[in-house]
């Protein structure tokens, strides 16, 4: 049982890391979206191992079902121009910023992990209702009802904003529209 | 049982990969996907810590709200990508320089 758990964890972790690397490295954004999909599926698997059944389902529905598909729609809408060019301008600055971020992150990881590695509290057994839809739903609709309603308001605002932003005219159309309006006035 | 620190190390690695991708890539779609990676790493850490404190569901509820906020962020972000593409015929972040000078 112990060995099976370990193998499951390491397989999911390897898929997540490889998918993340593919997302960051891929020049073609379709491949990047597929890497992101692999990471999301692996994390949903890890959620199952952590007894977060409801969140694993939500992760699959919202991320894999909606967010990645939205990315793919936009990539296909943009067509070949969505692919990165080989332009090298600003390369030094970007590489330096990435290296600096890696240094800071490694230092932070060292500080956080050093005192606790190998001494973490032993995980206790899980109550049977932990992480189920029943338990999460009970909390969402009682003590966390305020944030829950606010998140629905946030989603509605985001939908309206997305429609308003994406519906705008082409920049090249703008002057002609002005001219047409002026002609109509005259 | 897998110790929590394994999950935390994985989540830190995902966050770091996402952060580097956000800083290094100039394709705005790759940038958005890197942000997704960072948020996924944070979600994993929240759920893993919640596994060590099974008397409440705070970490899982927080992850639920992070996922909701992220869906909103992606919808608006991709709308901005489309608007930027209409304006500049490009998806490179350094082409978005309307506010420069």
Rounded to the nearest 5 percent, the helix, strand and coil shares of chain B are 80, 0, 20
Q: Which of B2, B87, B89 sits opposite A6 (nearest CB)?
A: B2
> CB of B95 within 8 Å of any CB in chain A?
no
Give the Cβ contact number of residue A13 at 10 Å. 23
Spans of chain A below 50 pLDDT: none
Residues A1 and A72 in one domain: yes
- Establish if A103 touches chain B: CB-CB under 8 angstroms: no
Percent of chain A with pLDDT over 90: 48
Same domain, A160 and A181: yes
Domain residue spans in chain B? 4-92
What pLDDT does A170 receive? 54
pTM of the full structure: 0.87
Verify that A52 and A136 share a domain, yes or no.
Answer: yes
**A159 and A138 share a domain?**
no
CB within 8 Å of chain A, chain B residues 21-50: 21, 23-27, 29-30, 32-34, 36-37, 40, 43-44, 47-48, 50
A53 and A136 together in one domain: yes
Same domain for A137 and A45, yes or no, is yes
The per-residue pLDDT for A83 is 82
Torsion-angle region of residue B33: left (phi > 0), alpha (psi -120 to 50) or beta? alpha
Considering the domain architecture, whether residues A156 and A167 belong to the same structural domain is answered as yes
Question: Any chain B CB within 8 A of the CB of A34?
Answer: no
Residue A123 lies in a domain: no
| Contact between B71 and A62 using a beta-carbon 8 Å cutoff | yes
Q: What is the ipTM of this complex?
A: 0.92
- Per the DSSP assignment, residues forming a β-bridge with B27 are B92
DSSP A141-168: TTTTHHHHHHHHHHHHHHHHHHHHHHTP
Residues from chain A that touch B70, judged by Cβ atoms under 8 A, are 67
Contact B47 A55 (CB under 8 A): yes
* pLDDT, tens digit (0-9, with 9 covering 90-100), for B8-42: 889 999 999 999 999 998 889 999 999 999 999 99
Cross-chain residue pair A165–B76, CB shorter than 8 Å:
yes
Instruction: Please tell me whether residues A174 and A136 are part of one structural domain.
Output: no
* Parent domain of A173: 145-186
Hey, is B92 helix, strand or coil? strand
Q: pLDDT category, B78, cuts 50, 70, 90?
A: very high
Q: What is the pLDDT of residues A3-34, one digit of tens each?
A: 888 899 999 999 999 999 999 998 899 999 99
Residue recorded with tokens 């995980």: A123
A79/chain B closest Cα distance in angstroms = 11
One domain for residues A63 and A150: no
Q: Does domain B4-92 sit in CATH 1.10.287.3510? A: yes
- Smallest Cα distance from B74 to chain A, Å: 7
């Amino acid at each position: 049982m112990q060995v099976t758990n370990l193998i499951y964890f390491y397989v999911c972790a390897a898929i997540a890391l490889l998918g993340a690397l593919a997302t960051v490295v891929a020049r073609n954004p379709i491949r990047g979206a597929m890497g992101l999909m692999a990471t999301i599926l692996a994390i949903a698997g890890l959620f199952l191992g952590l007894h977060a059944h409801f969140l694993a389902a939500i992760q699959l529905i919202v991320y894999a079902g909606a967010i990645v598909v939205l990315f793919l729609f936009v990539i296909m809408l943009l067509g070949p121009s969505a692919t990165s060019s080989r332009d090298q301008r600003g390369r030094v600055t970007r590489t330096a910023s990435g290296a600096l971020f890696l240094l800071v992150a490694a230092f932070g990881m060292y500080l956080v992990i050093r005192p606790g590695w190998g001494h973490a509290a032993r995980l206790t057994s899980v109550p049977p209702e932990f992480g189920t839809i029943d338990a999460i739903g009970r909390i969402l609709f009682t003590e966390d009802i305020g944030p829950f309603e606010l998140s629905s308001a946030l989603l509605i605002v985001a939908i309206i904003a997305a429609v308003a932003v994406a519906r705008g005219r082409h920049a090249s159309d703008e002057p002609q529209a002005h001219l047409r309006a002026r002609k109509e006035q005259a | 049982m897998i110790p929590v620190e394994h999950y935390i190390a994985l989540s830190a690695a995902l966050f770091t990969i996402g952060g580097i991708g956000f800083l290094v890539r100039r394709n705005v779609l790759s940038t958005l996907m890197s942000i997704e990676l960072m948020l996924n790493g944070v979600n994993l850490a929240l759920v893993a810590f919640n596994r060590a404190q099974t008397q409440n569901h705070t970490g899982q509820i927080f992850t639920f709200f992070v996922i909701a906020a992220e869906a909103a962020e992606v919808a608006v972000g991709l709308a901005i990508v489309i608007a930027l593409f209409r304006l500049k015929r490009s998806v490179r972040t350094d082409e978005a320089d309307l506010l420069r000078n």
